[in-house]
Amino acid sequence: MIEVAGASVGAGGAAEAARTDPAAVRELLYGVEDTGARRVVVSTRDVRRVFVRGAEETVALGGVTLDIYAGEYLSIMGPSGSGKTTLFNMIGGLDKPSSGKVFIDEVDIAQLDAYELAWLRCRKIGYIFQTFNLVTVMTCLENVMLPMVFAGLTTDEAMDKAAGLLKQVGLGDRLKHKPAQLAGGQQQRVACARALANDPAIILADEPTGNLDLRTGEEIIRLLYQLKESHGVTIISATHDMKMLSVSDRVVWIRDGRCARIEERKHLDIRVGEIR
């Protein structure tokens, strides 16, 4: 069963249709009506994650309930080992909670089959990682094209769109370069372009400045904010970089696997994370 807006609908028919008609999955994942109100795009309900190794249990998340709104820049902050990356993985469908639920546009993603979940990741979410995760044998252009080809675009369509995205992130003159020929900040710009490949509603950025020097990290933070504004995407970033305060609409502070507090922008001391 797939839970939508508090009700349950049969998953069998939707899943069967999706296997023969990808439009069925798109309807399932994008069919929530936008009324113009402040819309929740991601919600977690009492999400727990327990890792078991032999007789030992480690509680990475101890029950997190959170709503994330369309078009906002949300930073998940906390010290190493606090659970922020685990929460990030729950939201992105990269891991499943031990208990509790994660909804994306009111769809309980734990109820999606492998095909439907793959479509969600491909169409609904763009990912940016600390280590860039670029395919080293491919050019910048090919790296950005890759998710488009998986989504069904023709090579010509993907090439044109990828070139436009790379130009937008300031790499219009690096289309044929491979990752090893780029500096770290440039590689992360390629990753930003790739995250936008299929026009996602949500971008998940896991420590996007973690492998960059201070100045380059600031450039990436500015770029992420610009992309949020120009594309209207929701950005969710797991980070310990206080510079993120300067662009965040809200900050979720995670400690010991729990949500310690949530602060609105008006309550943040932006000076702490000011980019000069």
For residues 126 and 193, give the distance between their C-alpha atoms in angstroms, rounded to a whole number.
9
Q: What is the DSSP string of 35-93?
A: -SS--EEEEEEEEEEEEEETTEEEEEEEEEEEEEETT-EEEEE--TTSSHHHHHHHHTT
Q: What is the pTM of this model?
A: 0.81
Multiple choice CATH, 2-124+200-273, 3.10.20.30, 2.60.40.3080, 3.40.50.300, 3.30.300.250: 3.40.50.300
Mean pLDDT value across residues 253-259: 94
CB atoms under 10 Å from CB of 255, counted, come to 15
Q: Is 199 left (phi over 0), alpha (psi -120 to 50) or beta?
A: left
pLDDT confidence of 37, banded at 50, 70, 90?
Answer: low
Mean pLDDT value across residues 152-180: 96
pLDDT in tens, 110-162: 999 999 999 998 889 999 999 999 999 999 999 999 999 999 999 999 999 99
Taking the domains of the chain in order of start, what are their residue ranges?
2-124+200-273
Give SS3 for 164: helix
pLDDT in tens, 62-120: 999 999 999 999 999 998 889 998 999 999 999 999 999 999 989 999 999 999 999 99
